[in-house]
Structure 1
Amino acid sequence: MPSGADPWDRRSGEWLTGDLAEQGPGHAPGPPAAPAPPGAVADARSERKRATGPRRGSGDPVKALLHRHRELCERAVDPLEIAAGLEAHGVTDRTATRFRHRDVFSLAEELYARVPRNAEPRPEPAPLPAPRVRAGWVLLTLLPGALGAATVTGLRLTHGQPRPLVALGGLLAVALATRAALRHGPLAGPSGARAWRTATAPRVWRTATAPRVWTLWLLGYALVGDGLLHALLTGGSDAPPTGSPDGPWPTATAPVLALLLACAPAAWSAHLLAAGARRRLARSRGLEDFTAAVKPLLTGAFALFLAALGALLALCGTVLHEPAASAQALTLGALLLLARLLTVHRHRHAPALALGAAAATEAAALALPTAGRLPGCAFLTTPVETLVGAWGEAAVPALACATAALALLWHAGRTLTRASAHAPTGAPQ
């Protein structure tokens, strides 16, 4: 072996110890010496690493990422926990390619391997706490439907001047009950999101106000929108709505009551999704495995809600002797559920856009016939008249809500199937 050679034999993958490591060229190997102590071997390896530099060089991007997320990497019990944390901080598969990895989980595996750990085996990760069923939120989800049924009954039993008072009191009571149902239980979001809302109250207040306004508009249109559109297209009565299905503006109470009663199925669907995702997060060992397991869970929860809403629509239509308006009520219910699920799991931008687009479409359908009455603007009424003539007034909200719901369903399939959406901690997105 040449003089001054490294005592590490690259061919055999072993350390040359004793006289063999010290001999020059032409010397025969002497008797085997005792192996070097483990401490000396470790010191030699450390010296070699210091001499050759970092594995990826001084510009190692993974090393910089490791420094930023060292606490996350040190407390993680497996690479999946690191991957979920990276996703929660906005690291996507496209971002992982800048770190020379094909996806987030591959990057998380390297981070997990590069963090020094004790020789003692780490304990198995404890299952994440699954959401519990509490009597409080179960009763709160039943309250909007109960107050809505009481309001409809009061409108049916009263006539004349007391009717507006009953309607106003009922709307106020239903609004407060719905607010309480959305602030507790599965529809309220995790505690981490609440803390984040407190820390960024002004910005989140602006983000949350728009969806509330759009939701109120959509529910109001479901109540009186079809009758108002019919009156605008046919030049009907200009009298205000009376709250009865046979008035100048027919009021569709059956679909709205069914939507209020559907608060309970919506909460249970959100609970089943959250509980199932937490269990799968504890058992999965890769992001792809978790996504494959959660996709059918999301689809099942969504289908369960639609089935329950369809049954409630049929029941309310039969009891109130009104058309169930299944098409627009089902699409509106799907849109509201998906928007709430995304909001609960810290995705607020897409729901606001979808709800706003649906509300704007309905508002345009009412504005175009009104603008068409101006001289020379009759052509503005043509798109609405064509749609209503082919499918009826219900086609406007059904088309608007169905398009927005499909967009949110596609978005939910990409975001709610990620591990970071169901992790107990993480920054909101």
Structure 2
Amino acid sequence: MSDLGELDRPGTPERPTTTRRGAGDPVKALMHRHRELCERAVDPLEIAAGLEAHGVTDRTAARFRHRDVFSLAEELYARVPRGDDTRPRPAPTALPRPRPGRALLTLLPGALCAVALTGLRLTEGRTRLLVAAVGVLAVTLALRQALRKGPLGPRAGTRRGRLRTTLWTCWLLAYAALGDGLLRATVAGGPDGPPTGAPDGPWPFAPAPLLTLTLACAPAACCAHLLSARARRRLDASRGLEEFTASVQPLLLGVFTLFLATLGALTALGAAALDEPAAYAPVLTLGALLFLARLLTVHGFPHLPALVLGATGTAEALAPATVLAGRLPGCGLLSVPVETLVTAWGPAALPALLCGAAALPLLVHATRTLTRASAHARTAHPC
């Protein structure tokens, strides 16, 4: 297959086309390959972002006789004729005003969760089960809508990864509410029955983490919007890819820290409102994992988040399963790691360790991918 054919595959690093003897213009094939991008670009940085999205790196640019991608983009911008060379450079991107409808979507999961938890406290028996079923359905649908549109909505073309990420997000939230109670009951020899929604039941229910994490949809959307808008503004002001990356890295870490601080405050408020101890470690680690996964999905990188969330959810499901398997003859060693961890640190230590270990590679991946100009190009999903 020729080099030009290989370039048609998205994400494949581009290489200069092998030229015939006597040909001294290795940029020409690249110029024809990306002619549409070069013709509609308003500046070289927009071309650089498009090349970066197609896998062109500084090392690739060196094979085209340029020191970096931006230098290569400058030559392409200068050589490709445009229909209107006098059109002005667009004004820096302004922070769009929040849309009331989309803001309501991010507030809806937390509001419905609070209503459902209130209903569970005021009802008993079959009525409580009915309230729980309706509440789970309502919160799930609200969460699904909040993750489809607005700052938490992903780019077009990531439907498969988006669906997987949403499903695992719902699973992790369910474990935050019911998993610790199940694990504690399993280690103690149970559970003796299904969850009833009562704190003193055979399968204890922890409403505070669930309430906190659903309420966190609103600050997560605000932080995602802030990152997108500020990054696009810096993209307009930057004169090179390295300059843009250097300016966006502290912005990304600052937004991540801001979300964690807000989540910590919500954890304290939720625990106080429900008269429960504040579970900072599991809530903050899970919140960090979900927020990073959502940022990557929003900007067109859904595959690793889906993989990491799936691995974390599977590990949480296997924890009580190994305890139950340890009761089989000759399988006692299977339950030793989980039982030792729960005995020493409590059941909340398991999700805290798993989510913390999963969030770390996502943070590293985010600092490498979300600081690229191509992740914040004008073709990105709008806020």
TM-score w.r.t. length of structure 1: 0.79
In the superposition, relative to structure 1, how do residues 281 and 238 fare at CA in structure 2: closer, same or farther (>3 Å)?
Answer: same
For residue 13 of structure 2, what is the aligned residue in structure 1?
Answer: none
Alpha-carbon offset, residue 159 of structure 1? 0.9
For residue 226 of structure 1, what is the aligned residue in structure 2?
Answer: 180
Q: Distance in 1 between matches of 2:319 and 2:345?
A: 14
* Percentage of identical aligned residues: 69
Alpha-carbon offset, residue 303 of structure 1? 1.2
Q: Distance in 2 between matches of 1:122 and 1:169?
A: 56
For 1:279-298, list aligned pairs within 5 A: 279-298=233-252
For 1:418-429, list aligned pairs within 5 A: 418-425=372-379
Q: Distance in 1 between matches of 2:40 and 2:337?
A: 60
TM-score w.r.t. length of structure 2: 0.89
For residue 12 of structure 1, what is the aligned residue in structure 2?
Answer: none
Is the Cα contact below 8 Å between 2:191 and 2:202 reproduced in 1?
yes
For residue 77 of structure 2, what is the aligned residue in structure 1?
Answer: 112
For residue 323 of structure 2, what is the aligned residue in structure 1?
Answer: 369
For residue 145 of structure 1, what is the aligned residue in structure 2?
Answer: 110
Alpha-carbon offset, residue 304 of structure 1? 1.3
For residue 48 of structure 2, what is the aligned residue in structure 1?
Answer: 83
For residue 220 of structure 2, what is the aligned residue in structure 1?
Answer: 266
Report SS of the residue matched to 1:161: helix
One-letter code of the match for 1:96?
A: A
For residue 200 of structure 2, what is the aligned residue in structure 1?
Answer: 246
For residue 389 of structure 1, what is the aligned residue in structure 2?
Answer: 343
In the superposition, relative to structure 1, how do residues 94 and 400 fare at CA in structure 2: closer, same or farther (>3 Å)?
Answer: farther
Is the Cα contact below 8 Å between 1:259 and 1:333 reproduced in 2?
yes
For 1:317-356, list aligned pairs within 5 A: 317-356=271-310
Alpha-carbon offset, residue 107 of structure 1? 2.1
After TM superposition, the structure 1 stretch with the greater mean CA deviation from structure 2, 165-174 or 207-216, is 207-216
Q: Distance in 2 between matches of 1:257 and 1:130?
A: 30
For 1:7-406, list aligned pairs within 5 A: 57-58=22-23, 60-116=25-81, 123-128=88-93, 130-189=95-154, 193-194=155-156, 197=157, 204-406=158-360
Instruction: Give unpaired runs (5+ residues) of structure 2.
Output: 1-18
Backbone CA RMSD of aligned residues: 2.3
For residue 363 of structure 2, what is the aligned residue in structure 1?
Answer: 409
Q: Distance in 2 between matches of 1:408 and 1:234?
A: 34
In the superposition, relative to structure 1, how do residues 292 and 367 fare at CA in structure 2: closer, same or farther (>3 Å)?
Answer: same
Question: Stretches of 4+ moved more than 6 A in 1?
Answer: 117-120
In the superposition, relative to structure 1, how do residues 211 and 372 fare at CA in structure 2: closer, same or farther (>3 Å)?
Answer: same
Count of aligned pairs between the two proteins: 363
Is the Cα contact below 8 Å between 1:131 and 1:271 reproduced in 2?
no
Alpha-carbon offset, residue 167 of structure 1? 0.3
In the superposition, relative to structure 1, how do residues 77 and 150 fare at CA in structure 2: closer, same or farther (>3 Å)?
Answer: same
Q: Distance in 1 between matches of 2:250 and 2:91?
A: 24
Is the Cα contact below 8 Å between 2:182 and 2:191 reproduced in 1?
no
| CA shift digits 1:352-392 (9 cap, x unpaired) | 11101211221221221111111111011111122223322
Q: Distance in 1 between matches of 2:79 and 2:149?
A: 41
Q: Distance in 1 between matches of 2:55 and 2:88?
A: 28
Alpha-carbon offset, residue 208 of structure 1? 2.9
One-letter code of the match for 1:81?
A: E
After TM superposition, the structure 1 stretch with the greater mean CA deviation from structure 2, 122-131 or 409-418, is 122-131
Q: Distance in 2 between matches of 1:401 and 1:184?
A: 25
In the superposition, relative to structure 1, how do residues 344 and 426 fare at CA in structure 2: closer, same or farther (>3 Å)?
Answer: closer
Report SS of the residue matched to 2:201: coil
Q: Distance in 1 between matches of 2:65 and 2:30?
A: 12
In the superposition, relative to structure 1, how do residues 58 and 378 fare at CA in structure 2: closer, same or farther (>3 Å)?
Answer: same
Q: Distance in 2 between matches of 1:71 and 1:63?
A: 14
Q: Distance in 2 between matches of 1:272 and 1:316?
A: 25
| CA shift digits 1:225-258 (9 cap, x unpaired) | 1111111112034211111222111111001100
In the superposition, relative to structure 1, how do residues 129 and 62 fare at CA in structure 2: closer, same or farther (>3 Å)?
Answer: farther
Instruction: Give unpaired runs (5+ residues) of structure 1.
Output: 1-53, 198-203
- Asked which structure has the greater CA Rg, the reply is 1
After TM superposition, the structure 1 stretch with the greater mean CA deviation from structure 2, 409-418 or 234-243, is 234-243
Is the Cα contact below 8 Å between 1:85 and 1:426 reproduced in 2?
no
